[in-house]
Amino acid sequence: MAKRHFTAGARMRTLVGSRWAIVSVSLVALSFTGCNSGPTYVNPEGLLLVDGTPTGGVQVIFHPANPAINPASGVSNADGTYRLTTGTNQGISPGDYTVTAVYPDPSVVPTPQQKMMGTDEPGPDLFKGKYVSASTSPMKMTVSSGDQGLTPLDFSTKE
């Protein structure tokens, strides 16, 4: 048998080819092991009441007790129903939350000029700041992984 003589270039190509093969096999193996797909979300519908009446236009934010969970937010529809989003994801992660809310006075309508100039401001908060801070809001909610509907939130405009 004849002896094979490898040049330095051939040895380098063999080593580089072997390394790429190892990296490729490793990546394929990792893809089959799976990875954490991130937080889970439930997408329950809630009902928002103001003084016992379903109300639209109320902006709510659910602030998680667990700092590893992101807040969720939503705005109630005319029939008082709302759904929450967390960032760009529909839904909310299960956990305990403090709920904050602002209810802009719907009778304050910006003028066409204000809209055009981008200076239209929402009306004053009909809750008078009672629910605006997570540290002082009395509204609490626990969201479970199987929730299809949330406990109705009943906010008060009375002091």
- Tell me the three state secondary structure of residue 141: strand
Q: How many CB atoms lie within 10 A of CB 3?
A: 4
State residue 79's pLDDT score: 98
Q: What is the mean pLDDT of the chain?
A: 83
* Tens-digit pLDDT profile for residues 75-88: 999 999 999 999 99
Question: Which is more confidently placed, 16 or 138?
Answer: 138
Domains of the chain in sequence order = 46-155 (2.60.40)
Task: Kindly indicate the confidence band of residue 26, based on its pLDDT and cuts at 50, 70 and 90.
Answer: very low
